[in-house]
Structure 1
Amino acid sequence: MKGQQESTEEQALKVSNGRGSGRGRGRSSNRGRGRGRQSKELVECYKCHKLAHYQSECPTWEGNAHYAEFNDDEDMLLMAKTEEQNFNKIETWFLDSGCSNHMVGHKEWLFEFDDSYKDSVKLGDDSKMDVKGKGNIKLSINNIVHVISNVYYVPGLKTNLLSIGQLQQRQISIIFKNDMCKVFHDDRGLLFTTHMSKNRMYVITAPMIIPMCLKTTKQESTQLWHDKYGHLSFKGLNTLSRKQMVNGLPELEEIEENCADCLSGKQHRDTVPKQANWRASMKLELIHSDICGPITPQSNGGNRYFMTLTDDYSRKTWSYILKEKSNAFEVLKNFKALVEKETGCSILCLRTDRGGEYTSNEFNEFCSNEGIKRQLTTAYTPQQNGVSERKNRIILNIVRSMINARRVPKTFWPEAVKWATYVMNRSPTFSVKDMTPEEAWSGSKPSVHHFRIFGCLAHVHIPDKQRKKLDNKSKRCVLLGVSDESKAYKLYDPVDKKIIISRDVVFEESK
């Protein structure tokens, strides 16, 4: 029996459509039907009479217009482009030995879709197709549901392709013999059998199992991103998605729903619209600043205030956590050094209220020496510093909504303020057209692929040096945003009661 199995395996993956070139997987010395690794520099093609390839590999040969390859350094075969036949395209899949990845042409069939993945593929006839994401798909084969992972979405692809190589990496064995293909799972045995079709391709019938209707999927995705984005309005989310203002945000469904956490954290009276005031024409031409507090309860570190500084031109905002209002002077000095070094520009004007923290002698002297013009509001008219007032209100609305949604202790309000500011800078605003404040400031479209729900459960990897052989390899923490100093997440360990900075995290956003 074992000898018979080995004899059968020798014929595995010998596909007879001229795509050998050493890619077969039999155990003979010639590795299938390919010509091995001999140099082809002096080989003449009998079809086009050019050098360096055989007729069977010639792009102009009709038989080779059916394969494609990655447009990258690895030069991998990607797919076989099959001829049109009377198949039910939703249920028909082609097994392809030259295909390095599963592929479909319908995005709506995929779940857990990652639209940040981009690539392009080159067909045998030199035409190209774009890979615009990847995800998982469910197929019903012999009344058993199978999850196929890492399926590429290629718009315009007319056939569904299953990669033999990718299947073999998933404990799948594929045997070809006498125009028949048998597919085995290492643990579950024979999965299915199929015969060669007229165009020498192996076809299986596998109805699509869509976990939920497309509209419901998009609605759930919209709700998830609403939570990730600090309860940004659905209208704002749709604007980000529709105008592609950030990278990593999927296509979202336009829904009109009232979020209970938003109502408890953001509800306010309607305001009277006002005409726009003068706007800066360059970065740092005008900075708005305000201090919010005292906030109760005070944070775990004894902080009671936060200070915001907003660039009028880009509307990007920076937030700083303070123990006392008097710390505003040091914050301004640090902020000035940061943004001026980043932009090469100088702060020209600072607009604030007349609070003592902004009118102290050292504050006034510093602004005078640095050439910063002052604009102070008149007494009891905070409307004159409307930009900062609105920014602080938006931040507090986001903070309340996030804390209410995940029942995060209010003593973590500084972390919520920092995350709210981070999110706000990557959200649409009427003051900047068709881009986020972050893009208006930096010139680069921001990515939100790393966004997670504030306060969700996070499993943080414990480095080998910090644990013993039988210790758990991860610990349960709570997400508190992203780190200011490094590209990593900021988390709270409720057992050891300490803050952890880590990039090796697995999230459970439903908890």
Structure 2
Amino acid sequence: MASQHTVRIEPLGKDNFDTWRIQMEALLVKSDSWSAVSGESVKPEATAENASAAATAAAAAARTAWERTDRIAKSDIILAISPSELKLIKGCETSHALWQRLQATYQSAGPARKASLLKKLTLHRMTDGEEIRDHLRGFFDTVDKLGEMEVEINPDLLTIMLLYSLPPAFENFSKRFGHKAIECGKSRGNDEAPRKIEDLSMYASSDFSPPQNAFEIESAPEREKWCLDSGCSSHLCRDTRDFSEISNVANGTLNLATKASTEIKARGTVLFTGDVNGITKRVSVKDTLHVPELRTNLLSVGKITDRGYKVIFDKFAAEIVDKRNRQTVLFADRKDGLYYIRESKSECCAATEKKESRALKTWHQRMGHLNVRDLVKYVRAGDVRALEAFKEFKAYAERQTGKRIKYLQSDNGREYCNSEFDAFLREHGIGRRLTTTYTPEQNGVSERRNRTLVEMARCLLIQSQLPPSFWAEAVNTSNYIRNRCPSSSLNGRTPFEAWTGKLPDVSHFRSFGQKVYVLNRDPKKGKFDDRSKKGIFLGYSDV
């Protein structure tokens, strides 16, 4: 009787060989034919002419059994391959030869394959709506493939690449600061509710007690209320201060129920808190539209139910219930015929950090939860280094060009916005221009410059086949080259020419990463020692 396989796997295509191979191997093991495919079991040889009839018959039976197993394995593999890929296995007579052909095709370890995987890893970014588990799975799947090709990536660089692939919402991993790293995430008393993270597309909520901030605080303005709206197709927020991250690419028009329309300024993620039976929940509402002309913030009931939640209304209140565990995640109280989210009183009265406090919080997390006293010293030292660097640049630029700096444009970074920097600018009559928060396009020139340098550096690393640990040298080389390339914003002139008034000399340019030989100037070298040392070209000197 013919065997019936109830297991179905995704057919082999151009991009799924790694997962297909695991499932196919399991299927072949289940059908007792993997030994023929892997080469562990080979076809029995024919017996000698003078062998006995019994031995000849036994050998013939063994060959027949092996051929039958091999045919079954070969057919199972062929039936699990997409029709577009079948041309790759023409001429393969055995299942082992077929398997070897597929491995040679899809598991190439040549330079082109390595470069492709390195590029994929470098450009890997988490998209809107993507689950964090899926993002991490894809990231480390690429890392594993490179590891199979003996391409090892520095762990520190790998950590930086992973963090860079995440959106800004993942910048802060600890909600309580001013503590030691060993204390991070621990309860500080029985009255503190256990943390619980819910990964939702509508919102990501976590139970928490209001943090005891170690830094200076000031009173916060009254927060806008959130209203449940069954007729709203998207979450809407009127105040940019409620956004934890925001993008201005979502400009458009919103049609209101009165047939009027209003402008959508941006899209982003909003943070607010809710009270559920005395437990404070921090809620992050994703894909929220910024509409300044609204009278109140609106939560779309349709968006909430699309994510597997149930919204129950009664005469006095409403509740949002997780249908998976039947737990209430948010309450809303009825007022003047509308249902407003019940927010935490402690959070509504909580203080917000000053600019200096926010900067300290960020560096507290970056510095592995360093204590506040040493952290303040470190941040202030960084401010001093930025000011000293600007002083050096000012002296050099004004002496070389004969012109004076009139304005300094920057973002609101703490290293630029401090009393020492302000005093120096006033002393030398230099005006300050600050970009608006969440508006990177006001710094479009530098943003585009950074992107250009990173893209060129990536190309240099791929071309030279050097490991990503040389990214700093690649960026420096990219900047050196770009300063000597024509620019449309300078009417075809190069930045070097605009700065010095001279045409750049590029006769000394060499390919990044090529082999070089440096004269051995060691006075102790012997008469028959090498007169040069072999090296790798990593860039140009500024001198």
TM-score with structure 1 setting the length: 0.32
Looking at secondary structure, tell me which structure has more strand per residue. Answer: 1
Looking at secondary structure, tell me which structure has more helix per residue. Answer: 2
TM-score with structure 2 setting the length: 0.30
Question: Which structure's CA Rg is the greater one?
Answer: 2
